[in-house]
Structure 1
Amino acid sequence: MSTHFELNNILFLDIETVPQHEHWEDVPEETQHLFELKTQYQRKDEYTAEQFYERAGIWAEFGKIICISVGYFVEKDGNYQLRVTSFADKNEAALLTNFKKLLDSHFNLKNHLLCAHNGKEFDFPYIARRMVINGITLPKKLNLFGKKPWEVPHLDTMELWKFGDYKHFTSLNLLTHILGIPSPKQDINGSEVANVYYKEKDIYRIIRYCENDTIAVAQLLLRFHNLPILEEQNILQVNLQLENS
């Protein structure tokens, strides 16, 4: 792979999502019916809509974002550092608004790119849909209306690994394993996030998990371009100060 971008022009990200309601009985009746229709092709006769609701977080229409972690490279003394921070809030609209401030203030230029693993199929459209649902104007980097494919400012590490094979899905965990990158799945996995959020109420555990995935995506892009992965001391978790926040 050859690179046509500067590392410090890329915002790496990952999101964590959960069902909008903890319990099926709290879901409005009409929403229950629509969820039943939406998931029928996956459930078939194996699960009821109620039994399947624990997976509702994967659909922007029935889920919500509880954490967005971002990472960006900063060059210091000839070396790159990856700075990582997270947006997490019980109020999804506030979380999304703060993330939008970051994009509008710091990643709004033509040469800026967003990068995620399976981001084109999940993270980017999910964030955009939830912004629309919450009445938030889309930032330029997520507003794809009228854009040609080559004008979309998104990188997807899973798409890069496909090398044109559109049938090939490779998880972040598998890629980090085969490429010698420290595994991001050291504590929980995606199927456990809703339980940690609703039952354990441990948002900080979710933030750590989300940030580890973000770091892994950045490390993947380095490996794809035969660059050395970052040592732990060059990965900094910071509280990002937003302009006009």
Structure 2
Amino acid sequence: MIEKINLNNILFIDIETVPETEDFSQIDQEMQQLWEQKTQYQRKDDYSPEEFYERAGIWAEFGKIICISAGYFTNKNDIRNFRVTSFIGEEAKILKDFSNLIQNHFNGAQHLLCGHNSKEFDIPFIARRMIIQGIAIPAKMNLFGKKPWEVPHLDTLELWKFGDYKHYTSLKLLSKILGIPTSKDDIDGSQVAQVYYVQKNIDRIVTYCEKDVIATAQIFLRFRREDLLIDEEIIHV
């Protein structure tokens, strides 16, 4: 079925998140207590709430989005191009700009969102942060009342699972086994907060996020048994 999807109708996405503040002491006392309660089973006796706060970026209640990258094909006749763009700055602006992209260019019945593990992480995180920031959720992301087959989302992790719901494969591993070239000098998710707060290097994070979007698109092409993108076909805008 995925072979029949028009590639131009898919918006490939990836997000980068960090704890809402650089240090645990910077959130108010009530939030500190709520964090302690929220993470008690994950921490067990191995970490204090303060030590575990570096992982707060994976929870929308305690983290924030610092980058959303999106990619889309603009194929015409025999010419294939993949355009990649990123939204950075204050979180509210990031979310508004991303919402505008969806509303203006990917809001039709034929359009789909696609990411790796995006159904479990990226899309719910974006939607929750939109609610927190008081931003309307685009129809493409508002799943209330929708049946599973009505959800306009693709997920390369879900496609790889083939119904095996206990199975998880990282984007990096899937790229490796499918022969998709990736940069050796990328940061990983555990380093994003340090690069953001300590190094203050948002450009490095944007590069990392965009490479994940490209890798997701490449995986989708491999699922369709199509040639991978070459550098000349990828346009950063």
1:194 is matched with 193
Deviates more, 1:9-18 or 1:78-87: 78-87
SS at match of 1:114: strand
Q: Distance in 1 between matches of 2:2 and 2:93?
A: 38
Q: Distance in 2 between matches of 1:147 and 1:221?
A: 24
Q: How far 1:219 moved relative to its partner?
A: 0.3
Q: Distance in 2 between matches of 1:161 and 1:77?
A: 29
Q: Distance in 1 between matches of 2:165 and 2:52?
A: 28
Map residues 138-217 of structure 1 onto 2, 5 A cutoff.
138-183=137-182, 186-217=185-216
Q: How far 1:237 moved relative to its partner?
A: 0.3
Q: How far 1:4 moved relative to its partner?
A: 3.5
Q: Deviations over 1:145-164 (max 9, x none)?
A: 11000000000000000001
2:43 is matched with 43
Deviates more, 1:70-79 or 1:3-12: 70-79
Q: How far 1:187 moved relative to its partner?
A: 2.0
Q: How many residues are treated as equivalent by the alignment?
A: 237
RMSD between aligned residues: 1.0
Q: Distance in 1 between matches of 2:78 and 2:224?
A: 18
SS at match of 2:103: helix
Q: TM-score, normalised by structure 1?
A: 0.95
2:109 is matched with 110
- Structure 1: which amino acid aligns with 2:38? K
Q: How far 1:55 moved relative to its partner?
A: 0.2
Structure 2, gaps ≥5 residues long: none
Q: TM-score, normalised by structure 2?
A: 0.98
Identity of aligned residues (%): 62
Contact 1:124 1:142 in 2 (8 A): yes
Q: Distance in 1 between matches of 2:130 and 2:50?
A: 26
2:227 is matched with 228
Contact 1:10 1:113 in 2 (8 A): yes
Q: How far 1:67 moved relative to its partner?
A: 0.1
- Structure 2: which amino acid aligns with 1:140? A
- Structure 2: which amino acid aligns with 1:75? N
Q: Distance in 1 between matches of 2:49 and 2:8?
A: 44
Q: Deviations over 1:198-236 (max 9, x none)?
A: 000000000000000000000000000101101111011
Structure 1, gaps ≥5 residues long: 239-245
Q: Distance in 1 between matches of 2:112 and 2:60?
A: 23
